[in-house]
Structure 1
Amino acid sequence: MKRTRGAAVLAAAVLSLLPVTARADTVHPDPQPITGQQIIHDPTVLRLKSGGYVAYSTGGIIGARTSDDRVHWKDAGNAFAEPPAWWYEYNDTGDPWAPDLSYRDGRYWLYYAVSSWGTNHSAIGVATSPSGLPGTWTDHGKVFTSETTDHWNAIDPALIKADGRLWMAFGSYWSGIRMVELDPRTGKALPGAPVHHLATRPDEPYAVEGPAVVKHGRYYYLFASHDACCSGVNSTYKIKVGRSTSVTGPYTDSTGKPLLEGGGDLLLAGHGRYVGTGGQSVFRTQGQDWLAYHYYDAEDAGTPKLGLNRLSWGRDGWPSVR
């Protein structure tokens, strides 16, 4: 995400005290009530094979939260005790962003990004764990990188398997959302793999980022965050979605407008106290899809908190939140 470093994200959000006028909203649902440790940014959530849930996020050395029931959340420290040395190639504090958690081939896979504010000198890394719990991760280094000569930004990873192949969506600002194929054995980008273009905005700064790709029925759905995050109650983040019959696109919204031309159906926007909804991911548990995201709480000094809503699918195949 084109943002300040993770610790600064949380600090800036908490310090943002500008007033917001709350209002009732009949279009966008509130997140489900949760308790305990609610502070989070860019959440990725998964139900563990051992039972219970874990959420990883921007902040700390990939901040961790755990829950037995998806309602009460506890602070579980960080994914790593110390930043891997190579992270310092991309920022001075070894600060990672926007993780993505998945399970395949008997292991948990944690993808994440390291970068600095306002640059696409960035990298996506990967770690694996037998349990998915904090403190059990082994880092395997860089998956994919970008430099200032590239037209994309290698941050905000999101994994999906499609037709027996493994893909990673990524991207923030610059030219928007991209996708590259990974080697399923190593979890890293295939050498020489083409970089596909999935979504962008028509005007600079091309404010679309944080992809999540989900298969439902015969379509692949691309969820992305539009506009500005990381400014507490001044954030304008919102979540939009498009779909395609191919994982690499082209993606269009329900009107047929391509996401490469700024299209996208609005799925969730800020309302009332829930400002700047975005940084989303999708997870499935007990036969139900859920949308996880952060919002800035206008009734708590703009503190970023965890939002969870059920994701439903209409007869026309398009998703909505409940």
Structure 2
Amino acid sequence: MKQSIFIIIALVLFSGKVFSQIFVHDPVIAQQNDKYYLFCTGLGITIWSSPDMENWTKEGRVFDQTPQWVSETLDDFAGHMWAPDIIYNNGQYFLYYSVSAFGKNTSCIGVATNSTLNPEDTDYKWVDHGIVIQSVPGRDDWNAIDPAIAFDDDEQPWMSFGSFWNGLKLVKLDNDLKNIAQPEEWHTIAKRQRSFDIEEADAGDGAIEAPFIFKQNGYYYLFVSFDYCCRGAESNYKIMVGRAKNIEGPYFDKNGKSMLNGGGSLVLKGNENWYGIGHNAAYTFDGKDYLVCHGYDKHDNARQKLIIREIQWDKNDWPVVDQTK
């Protein structure tokens, strides 16, 4: 409770001030007109805005109060909403978010919509539509967190999601983007085999989460995070990638190894400036491709900070980002 009160006070104190370095977890970005809007894990989903992706102003949060359905569905919800995704479709912004008990697959993914991201617009209002999917212990060997939406060549929407357990999933969505399509179609798109049987938070060498599918160069690129975040200087998060010609997969890395078998080619990891780097998204803004993620700053008490790197493409159309910053 004390932590929640502190975060609420911080939101009030720091709203409206401009920061060049921001402390974020699980960032995603959307561009509306001449501004970028960033959404990240926090009480009610924290919002930032920027004219240039360098100088950021805190704009508050999506939810002032936790939606009623969350407390009715999850007995052990701790207050934070995790790992959002933001997309624009048919005149609406769709904000997907995760609610969960830490380390358990007692989880749900919900969605809210807004016609604008500009808080000063008179039409600005987030409308919550409740659960899209839910994972239940004992029924599901997957975890309903870390959503990300992608569209295939036929403009069919899909949601990738998942953390640890039996890997990362892909489910077809209805065209309203608020429900699972009927008949249901599910796929496993990436997993790492655990070397021993475990339960809940400790995935051992099976740690994989945060899928994000980015369509470019005639491929669907599946970015994922291996290993562990949220451990400060002990974080060893890293971003891996594979690609496929079809959104359902199968996805393979540079060496031809399937991501269903632990495959993945390294995109970005910690270096002399950062501990673990991960939970990424990928975007094209104004003709350039960008990787957006968070890392743990070695020069600032391992605080979680926003990282944005431009994506280049090698001669074989694999993503390359600067490893030295």
User: TM class by shorter-chain length?
Assistant: 0.7 to 0.9
Assess if the C-alpha contact under 8 Å between 1:87 and 1:95 holds in 2.
no
Give the aligned partner of residue 195 of structure 1: 186
Assess if the C-alpha contact under 8 Å between 1:212 and 1:223 holds in 2.
yes
1:282/1:139 CA distance change after superposition, 3 Å: same
Give the aligned partner of residue 22 of structure 2: 38
User: Is 1:73 aligned to residue 77 of structure 2?
Assistant: no
1:186, 1:310 → 2: CA distance? 29
TM-score using structure 1 length = 0.87
What secondary structure, in the 3-state scheme, does the structure 2 residue paired with 1:197 have? Answer: strand
Q: 1:144 is matched with which residue: 115, 127, 133?
A: 133
Q: 1:55 is matched with which residue: 16, 38, 44?
A: 38
Give the aligned partner of residue 107 of structure 1: 92
Aligned-pair CA distance for 1:146:
1.0
Q: 2:70 is matched with which residue: 80, 87, 90?
A: 87
Assess if the C-alpha contact under 8 Å between 1:79 and 1:133 holds in 2.
no
Give the aligned partner of residue 113 of structure 2: 128
Give the aligned partner of residue 20 of structure 1: none
Structure 1 unmatched runs, 5+: 1-5, 11-33
Give the aligned partner of residue 158 of structure 1: 148
2:90, 2:26 → 1: CA distance? 25
Aligned-pair CA distance for 1:133:
4.1
Aligned-pair CA distance for 1:301:
1.1
Assess if the C-alpha contact under 8 Å between 1:37 and 1:65 holds in 2.
no
2:21, 2:44 → 1: CA distance? 17
What secondary structure, in the 3-state scheme, does the structure 2 residue paired with 1:299 have? Answer: coil
Moved over 4 A (4+): none
Give the aligned partner of residue 31 of structure 1: none
Q: Deviations over 1:229-285 (max 9, x none)?
A: 101111010000000011011000011000011000000000112111001111221
Assess if the C-alpha contact under 8 Å between 2:77 and 2:100 holds in 1.
no
Q: Deviations over 1:3-29 (max 9, x none)?
A: xxx97xx9xxxxxxxxxxxxxxxxxxx
Give the aligned partner of residue 257 of structure 1: 257
| Paired letter, 1:131 | T
Assess if the C-alpha contact under 8 Å between 2:109 and 2:134 holds in 1.
yes
TM-score using structure 2 length = 0.86
2:316, 2:100 → 1: CA distance? 39
What secondary structure, in the 3-state scheme, does the structure 1 residue paired with 2:229 have? Answer: coil
User: Is 1:171 aligned to residue 171 of structure 2?
Assistant: no
Give the aligned partner of residue 281 of structure 1: 281
2:225, 2:157 → 1: CA distance? 23
What secondary structure, in the 3-state scheme, does the structure 1 residue paired with 2:305 have? Answer: strand
| Paired letter, 2:187 | H
Aligned-pair CA distance for 1:193:
1.0
Give the aligned partner of residue 98 of structure 1: 83
Give the aligned partner of residue 12 of structure 2: none
| Paired letter, 1:241 | V
Q: Deviations over 1:127-151 (max 9, x none)?
A: 1111124662111001111111211
1:186/1:216 CA distance change after superposition, 3 Å: closer
Identify the range of structure 1 (39-48 vs 128-137) with the bigger mean alpha-carbon deviation: 128-137
2:220, 2:309 → 1: CA distance? 20
Q: Deviations over 1:44-69 (max 9, x none)?
A: 01111x32101000112101111011
What secondary structure, in the 3-state scheme, does the structure 2 residue paired with 1:87 have? Answer: helix
1:144, 1:188 → 2: CA distance? 8
Assess if the C-alpha contact under 8 Å between 1:123 and 1:142 holds in 2.
yes
Assess if the C-alpha contact under 8 Å between 2:43 and 2:79 holds in 1.
no
Assess if the C-alpha contact under 8 Å between 1:242 and 1:253 holds in 2.
yes
What secondary structure, in the 3-state scheme, does the structure 1 residue paired with 2:63 have? Answer: coil
Identify the range of structure 1 (78-87 vs 101-110) with the bigger mean alpha-carbon deviation: 78-87
Assess if the C-alpha contact under 8 Å between 2:157 and 2:177 holds in 1.
no
Assess if the C-alpha contact under 8 Å between 2:267 and 2:320 holds in 1.
yes
| Paired letter, 1:175 | N
Of structures 1 and 2, the one scoring higher in RCO (CA 8 A, sep 6+) is 1
1:133, 1:278 → 2: CA distance? 28
2:186, 2:306 → 1: CA distance? 32
| Paired letter, 1:42 | D
1:194, 1:316 → 2: CA distance? 31
